[in-house]
Structure formats: C-alpha cells, structure tokens
Chain A
Amino acid sequence: MKAVEMLGITKSFGSKFASSDIDFHVEKGEIHSLLGENGAGKTTLMNILFGMIKPDSGKILLNEKEVKIDSPLEAIDNGISMVHQHFMLVDNLTVAENIVLGAEPHKGILFDREGAFREIQEIADRYHFVIDPREMVGNLSVGIKQRVEILKALYHRSDILILDEPTAVLTPQEVNDLFKVLNELKADGKTIIIITHKLKETMAIADSVTILRRGELIGRYSIKEVDEQKLADLMVGRLVNFSVEKKPMKDDMPVKLSLKNISLKKNGKQALNDLSLEVHAGEILGVAGVEGNGQSELIEVLTGVAQHYDGTYMIGDADVTNKNAKTILKYMANIAEDRRARGYVKSFTNWENMILGYHTLSDYMTKAGFLKTREIRKITEDEIEANDIRTEGPLQLTDSLSGGNVQKLIVARMLRHQKGLVLAAQPTRGVDIGAIEYIHGELIKLRDAGAAVILISAELDEIVKLSDRIAVLYEGRVAALRKAEEFTESELGSYMLGHDPEKEEA
C-alpha cells in the first residue's frame, strides 16, 4: 500500500520551478531516499507534504485517500512529522517540554510535568534511546538534539517521518546510530522519507529512491536496481568521474609551512591549544574534525586574519608569526571558509573579484594606482572560459552567480595566483557535484605538481578521499595525525568526538 502519494505537484518561486509536475510515492513501511543536488527541490517537495508550502497545483494522497494539508498542524493530525534541517527546538526548555510543546498533557488545567516525563521515557525506552527527558536541550549535542526531534514525531504518534538532510551535522558514529534507529522504526511499521544528497547513505539505508534534478522528477528506483555510480549520473545528468588518481606521495619533501605550539584565545575560550602542524610540498594535509573544534580559528591564524596568538608560524624560511593577511597572501593562496563573508565582495563584478587580494600586483595596477581594467577583464574572460564558470561574463555581479560558480571563480583566482602553497577551507561547501568534481581534481593536480595543500573540511568523505595525511582537530588540539591509510573511518570518528580508540581498546 502507498503510505504517501503526491501527484502532479508543481510549485514555482517567481519564474523558477522548484517542483514541476512531480509524481512521488512511498510504500508503507519502507525507508525512502529523496535524492538530489542542492537546489533540486527536495526540501520544497517535502515542505509541501508537511503543509508548510502551498503547491500551485497537484494533489496529495495518504493511504490512497486524497487529503488536504494546509498547515503543519494538519500534517501532524494526518500522522506526518518532519525533522527540519535546522532543528526547531527551544534551548532553555527541557527535552520533555520541547517534545510536548503545543500538545501538553494536562492534569486538570495544569501542565502534567511528571506525566510528560513518564510518557517520553516510555517511548525512548521502547526504541532504545539513551536520553534524559529532564535535561535542558541547550546542553545537548547535535546528534542528541536530532534524537529529540525524532522523539517528538513519535510522541505525536506519526506513522510517516520525514527527515531533511539529517546526516549533514553528524559524525560517522552518530550517522550509524541514527540509521539503527531508523531501521528500528521501520521494523515497527513506520514509513520514513530521508532527504539527502549523499549517495553512500542512500545505498546504506534506503529501500527505494526518488531522484530530483532542478525541480524535475528524474525517476524512482528500487535500491536493488541502482548503485552509487548510477545514482550520481542520474542526479547530475551526465557521467560523473568519482575516482581520484593521485601519484604516490614522495617522502622527504621539504616542509612548506609549519605551525609550532599555536595557542589562541577567542571570546575568553581557548580556541587553539598548543597546536602544531607541518605541511610538506607535494602533499595534501587534511584537517578533520567536528565543526567548532578550532577549525575557524586555525584558518584565521593561517590566513593572517588573527594576529594575536602565541607560538611560531613559518612559511618556508620566512617567519610570518602574527603577520597580516597582506603579507601571507604573498606566500599562500586560499579558498575562504565562508565564501559569502570572506571570499568575494558582493558589490563587485567578476573581474573585480578575480583579482581580490592580488589587485596591487603590477599585472593589474599601474604605478600611479590605476587598475588595468582592460587587461583584467581579458584575464577574467580567459579564466571564465578555462574553468567553465557559468556567467554572462566579466561584467556580471559575482553575487548573482550560483554558489558553485562563485566557488569556481574563487578557485580560479587561487589557482592563478598560487605559488606552491594553498589553503582550501571547506572548498566544496554548498556546491553541486559538478563543481565538487572539478575542485577536487584541481587540488589533486596542484599536489601532483608539488604544491603543499592544506584541506580543512567538515566533510569526512572529502578528507579521506583527497588527503595524504590527516590531522584530527579536537578542542583546538591535534588529537591524531597520521597517514590517511592508517586511519579507519571509525577511528577518525572516535578522535573527532574526543575519544582515543587505542587507549579504549587497551
């Protein structure tokens, strides 16, 4: 039986179709993956099912009967719950209070607090959730907060659970735990829709999959009919090259950059704590870690944005400790962690952004301080062509490009100006598969050509795939540093959570 069926769903924002004539269905009791790249329309489609967005046309059937869902409350009444990408929890309420919010159990006219605690504890026990209903939500980790959201759905006795990109914020262990929970729910007869753009996860958890691309339905498949490569090709709309081929790493390459005993306080917190790192020519050093463990501060130190830290920062033979961004740009090109904040200037056109940080080079500026506009535009045009950046040309505002194309422009700028040392911070955040493929390829090329590359990323897959050595950052320290092949994925996950798997085994 079809638990959910959506027929002919169309929704446009302005002239842009987020869903165009989409048919979608999920069988009762299955885990269904809704797969697509950023902007494919996954969230929109599910928001329509959850009553948060009104479609322009189309109808919804639950258990093969047509229903009208005009608000999330009606969705919940119909047995549908949704865990959003951004959790909707109140930090200074307890787990139980968050869960019953809007549907509080009463004893007379009073809120029955103990009753709520009891009921939630029962549900948690049934599904083996380790959780204390009396804990403040603000004190919980991201993984546990997500658990609270799921509990909320169960408390509402929902049979259909939608999860929007639930793994984006989780470590590998937490993903495993989540999948265990989902399988239990499935065994209990619940129907689950999981939105994702990750192929591996779709293969690991789903029974069937629907693929969207640019608001259009590409197809629905049983998981047995597909593999990762096929899913990728369908999702992107062309053949995707996944494998990266690297030349073997050479030993005894010179150290290009070294940090010694770096400590940095930020907002009264020890953000970096006696951190040391070395990067050699011809290697990609991956820096892994759960976000908020000092990555941003490490980037600030590396790029010269932070200028008040203890320790020593050397690039080659030059001591650049506490030097400013202008000095460091002479040695190291970078891809900014937050491209909207630091990667480009919003009011600048492509040609202006193409030289940002390098605009004082004599290629771009006369001695009198005039920009060589014509030359810069020509160069930008060449770079747009060479890097397949989708834009009208050098005169278009960079801010009006899609995220992937902005990132390509930033990468093109980095490639053009790099001198053998590169910092790539979250280089593929929020960009499409095509751009990811391209950016990964370019980083490998750099490395093969003998450049030293520091890759800081929250995407563990990316780190594992590209890095020669991996450093795991935990609470501002390097918790582990080894050759990539000497880590198992679960070891990486343990170090990311601050455990030491070696000690725990002993």
Chain B
Amino acid sequence: MSTGAVIIGAAETDRVGKLPGHSTLMLHLEAAHNALADAGLSVHDIDGVAGVSAPGPLAVAHALGITPAWLDSTSVGGTSFLFHVRHAAAAIAAGLCTTVLITHGESGRSRVGAPSYTRDPGSMPGQFEAPYGIISPPTMFTVPALRYLKDTGTTQEQLASVAVAQRRWSARNPRAMFREEITVDDVFASPIIAYPFHLLECCLVTDGGGALIVTSAERARDLPQRHRPVHLLGAGEASDAPLVSQMEDLTSSRGFRLSSAAAFEEARISVDDVDHLMIYDAFAHLPLYGLEDMGFVKRGEAGAFIAEGHTSPGGSLPMNTNGGGLSYTHTGMYGMFAIQEAVRQLRGEAAAQLPDPKVSVVLGNGGMFMAAATLVLGSDAVD
C-alpha cells in the first residue's frame, strides 16, 4: 500500500554542527533553498508549508516568497517533521494543496535568533516538574530509564553499547560531529551527567537544518525528477503524556507502540520487511524502547540485540546509519535528520550506504516520550 505521497526533495543545510554565523531563520531558508534545488523546483511550485513554531511556517513562507494555500505548524517536539509529512500527504490527497515544503532550522548550539527556553510556571510541567531541579532534557528524559533497566533486566553495559554501535556508523559519515569509534569502557569513562547516563549516552547539541518537499506520486511524474521519488508507504502518529512522570508505562512508549502499529498497518508491512531503521536517539535508552515497542525484538531483548552488533554495520537491522543524535547531529529537534538519512539510503546516496534497501522505517520522538510518529518509506510504491 501507499499513501500516494512521495518525497521529491530532501536536503540539509550545507553544514551541520557549529554554525554561529547562521540565525535560526537562515538555517530554515538555507535548508529550503537546498531542498528546492534538490527537487529542481522553485518557490512558485510550492503551495503548502509546514514547520514548528518558532519561527513557524508563516514566517518561512513569507521570507521565501511563497503564498501558501495550506499551513501546518504542528509543534510536538523533535518528531514534528514526521507529523508534517503525514499531514502533508493527507492534505495533498484531500486536494488542499499539491506540493508541500517542510523546513527545520535550529541554532541549538549557538542560539542565534533562537527562541528562549522558558517554562511557564503555571503550566503543568511548570508546576509539577520544574520545581524539582529540572534543568533540561538530560535530567528529565532520562528519569524512566532505571525502571526500564530493572524491569527488563537490561544492563548498563548494554545501554552504553547503543552509543558504541552508533559510532561505528558515524565513523563512516564525514559530516558527523563525532567519528572516533568508542568502547563501552570509553562510555563509562565519560562524565556522568545524570546517573545512570554518561556524557556519551546523551545527544549532541548542534546547529543545522533540513527540508523536505512532498507531493503526490502523480504530480511527481510531471516534475523534473532529479532523484528517484521516495514513497510514503504508511505513517502513524500518537501522543502520550505532557509530563514524563505521567507516561502510561515508564518502561514502554505508548507513542512508539501506537504510531508504529498504525504506520505498519497502513503500509501493510511487518518488521521482517524493514531493511533500514532510524530511531530517534536523544539518549541511549530510546533505541532500546523503540526496538521493543515497534516489535523488532521481544521485551527485554533490545539491549543484547544492539550489544551483539545486529544494528551495527554488517548487522541484520542497520539502525541510525548516520550516527544518530548521539554522534551525527542533534539540533534539539532531530526528527528531520532521521528522515533525511532514510531518504538518502533509499536513493542510494548515504555516506554509509546499504546495499539497495527497499523499505526504511523512521521513528520520531517528541518531548520526553510526549509524542511520537512513524514513517514507512519505500524506494518503490507497493501495490
């Protein structure tokens, strides 16, 4: 099955990493410019725009000179771009617009023209989380992990092996921020940020951006076709709690489970059909939850699966092949970069290219297990 939507343009900013000369808006515009060039389109071909606030799709559309007939500013953290792809496919199928530009830009490291981090002290997180010395995601997103380790029998060595596996991929990616291969001992020797998490089990904080162009498979045939279109075979979205303490199950993400089940059902695939996998890895425990919640392994098996090398180069389930948020880049909202790597793999353009993958699955996380979306992407439309 297919949604009928295809990704015909995909690009990141020229560079990712430390970009103090780029504002947040500039990162959006550069990514958009690159994605349009990638697709061989101009701004006049775009009639729908999506992106998180701030700056939001309205500001991006205006800055680029686009007159949108459709806007989506769904802002549910780093998975938002997966939501945008799904919403764009639905909008295009409904005839609301024909060609959607989705942009991401974030000066996560340099904080140039970036929205300030403020938490309303009257919001539920402001009242029931902030008073307890929460600083940032490393002291919040990590809190459920000890429960997961205990209940599943997963070891801290296995948790560390997530970072080790992803360095094997980033070592092959010249754009990655960290490229040196590491061992479990190296992870344990890095500073403890929030026990049980060491520095190397926490994502990078970088500057960068990315953009996508989505249209219908039908319209794509009339467009320049600079690249093989990537088909959206299925998609799903879901949410859990806005406070991490209130997630349905501390050891499993409802969003991961529901969004992946919906996406796999729409695409009519099973885990056995997946050649390439991207799981949002803001912290090392996310791929463990993701592998189990999506059904790639049974409960409690993800740690051993990764530690044994099955997601590493040469393994049966290549995962986070750009190096992930732990080693490639993480602007704060990593989902865009996970989609970009899936598109590159399906086009055959990745730095660590797999041999002819047909189906790639992207699992995005937003907030602290707050929202999730899954995309099933294919190199061919499947009937």
Q: Tell whether A pairs with B.
A: no
Question: Which residues of A line the B interface, CB within 8 A?
Answer: none
